[in-house]
Amino acid sequence: MTNTVAIGIQWGDEGKGKIVDLLAPKMDVVARFQGGPNAGHTLVIGEQKTVLNHIPSGILHDNILSLIGNGTVVDPFRLVEELDMLLEAGIPVEQRLKISDRCQLILPYHRALDAAREAAKGKGKIGTTGRGIGPCYEDKTARRGIRLVDLNASNLDERLDEHLKYVNFMLVEFLGAKAVSKAEVMVALDLARERLLPLVADIPLILHQHIQAGSNILYEGAQGSMLDVDHGTYPFVTSSNTVAGAALAGLGVGPKDVDEVLGICKAYTTRVGAGPFPTELYNADGMCDAKNAGKHMAEKGQEFGATTGRPRRTGWFDAMVVQHAVRINGVTGLAITKLDVLDGLEEVKLCVGYSYQGERLLSIPADCAVLDACEPIYETLQGWSENTFGLTDITQLPAAASVLLQRIEEVCGCNITMLSTGPDREHICHLSSINT
């Protein structure tokens, strides 16, 4: 039995979808534990490309049970769209998917608040995905959220009236936005009642039974460790814990029920939205390095958000970020993705430390202003002109690419166990370490 947590360990978009898709066939259960429709995983079904936001990536396999845990926030409109899209593609999703009755619902006022708050912040905005994630988690923590199980509560109408008074006061009086009507909210609630309630289940019980039976379970994370509300670049983070530990609370399993933690990261770094990014080279606001390496990464890596289509900021691999992630998640193996994007660069750089006011920092500072002022300390390595696209055997890697990967292992203190060299399932090398 191997129960594995698979998480992103940069700022999201590390290529988790592909890695989870590769691991899924060995699994009996794939369970999502946090986030919501801010995540986007592109799947290709037949000729059609489609983006899943809530549903775990195991859903395409007929012998895998897909679970959405209590740590996840669910938008009924978007989740029902996903269900319908899969049903149309002939996937019996309703037989393969169970949702925790404890999941919080993202309702129209959450999206309205997300948009109004971002607009009010102007230049200081977080750059959220606009999916209502923050306001929904805020209601959860404030103990006024509506969960799937509450759809049958006798006092739901009263609670909603009370909550709408507060929400509309915030929207209209405080943020100068439009009020949300009860009718709009009722449409979402009715849809959830009709389409989602039939899928609810006691997820900890199901997982416990699988654990007892020796099943293989994949705990699937969303976003990345640097977007974690506690350990990331606060306040430029998402509103949930994205670290491996969140798999426990977000599904209802114990620490002994996890065997491995796979940390997924690109061979370079990207970020969408605002916030510090010490190794940034390139962004849509006009930042560009002299050798155009950042632009090369953005273009060759097709760095646009799967959920919002926003261009991503790009920069060199930051080993400070990955070291931090290895520590806070207990990462047991690294999956490095998009190595091929670096093909053709004359030189590649690895950030191995930060200098702040003349001092070398040993870890990621909690204060964003300090992180913003940090200068990356780089090791410059030789690039390679050979094509690594689609390589499946690490012995065929150009020597310079092997050197980069060896340094990543050494500096981050963790072995690379998977290396992805292209978008397809076949474009992968499995290894125990680049050094063996």
Q: Catalytic residue numbers?
A: 13, 41
**83: three-class secondary structure by DSSP:** helix
Q: Which of 71, 76, 134, 301 binds ligand IMP (CB under 6 A)?
A: 134
Q: Is 128 in the site for ligand IMP (CB under 6 A)?
A: yes
Determine the size of the site formed for ligand IMP (CB under 6 A): 20
Cis peptide bond upstream of 311, omega within 30: no
For residue 276, the minimal CB distance to ligand IMP (Å) is 11
Q: Is 269 in the site for ligand IMP (CB under 6 A)?
A: no
Q: Is 265 in the site for ligand IMP (CB under 6 A)?
A: no
* Nearest CB to ligand IMP, comparing residues 67 and 222: 222
Place of tokens 């410059």: 380
* Nearest CB to ligand IMP, comparing residues 138 and 184: 138
Q: Is 117 in the site for ligand IMP (CB under 6 A)?
A: no
CA distance 137 to 309: 24
Q: Which of 6, 12, 252, 412 binds ligand IMP (CB under 6 A)?
A: 12
Residues in contact with ligand IMP, shown as a per-residue x/- string from 20 to 59 under the rule CB under 6 A? ------------------xx--------------------
Q: Is 133 in the site for ligand IMP (CB under 6 A)?
A: yes
Q: Which of 263, 273, 276, 315 binds ligand IMP (CB under 6 A)?
A: 273
For residue 21, the minimal CB distance to ligand IMP (Å) is 16
Beta strands 375-382 and 416-420 are unpaired
* Backbone torsions φ then ψ of 169, nearest 5 degrees: -65, -45
Helix or strand (DSSP H, E) at 363? none
Residue 410 contacts by C-beta under 8 Å, 6 or more apart in sequence?
A: none
Q: Is 238 in the site for ligand IMP (CB under 6 A)?
A: yes
Stretch that binds ligand IMP, among 187-195, 233-241, 392-400, 424-432 (CB under 6 A): 233-241
Stretch that binds ligand IMP, among 56-64, 124-132, 246-254, 286-294 (CB under 6 A): 124-132
Q: Is 145 in the site for ligand IMP (CB under 6 A)?
A: no
C-alpha radius of gyration, the chain, whole number? 22
For residue 34, the minimal CB distance to ligand IMP (Å) is 10
DSSP string of 40-57, one letter each residue: -EEEEETTEEEEESSS-G
In the bound state, the residue with its beta carbon closest to ligand IMP is: 273
Q: Which of 20, 258, 272, 412 binds ligand IMP (CB under 6 A)?
A: 272
Place of tokens 């404890």: 102
Q: Are 147 and 205 in contact (CB under 8 A)?
A: no
Residue 133 contacts by C-beta under 8 Å, 6 or more apart in sequence?
A: 35, 36, 37, 38, 73, 106, 110, 114, 238, 239, 240
For residue 309, the minimal CB distance to ligand IMP (Å) is 12
CA angle 293/298/299 to nearest 5° reads: 95
DSSP string of 197-218, one letter each residue: GGGEE-HHHHHHHHHHTT--EE
Q: 263 - beta bridge partners?
A: 7, 334
* Nearest CB to ligand IMP, comparing residues 257 and 303: 303
For residue 221, the minimal CB distance to ligand IMP (Å) is 10
Q: Is 239 in the site for ligand IMP (CB under 6 A)?
A: yes
Task: Tell the burial category of 53 from Cβ atoms under 10 Å away from its Cβ (0-12, 13-18, 19+).
Answer: buried
* Nearest CB to ligand IMP, comparing residues 133 and 404: 133
Q: 280 - beta bridge partners?
A: 315
CA distance 423 to 388: 12
Q: Is 263 in the site for ligand IMP (CB under 6 A)?
A: no
For residue 135, the minimal CB distance to ligand IMP (Å) is 9
Q: Which residues contact ligand IMP (rule: CB under 6 A)? A: 11-13, 38-39, 126-129, 131, 133-134, 222-223, 227, 236, 238-239, 272-273
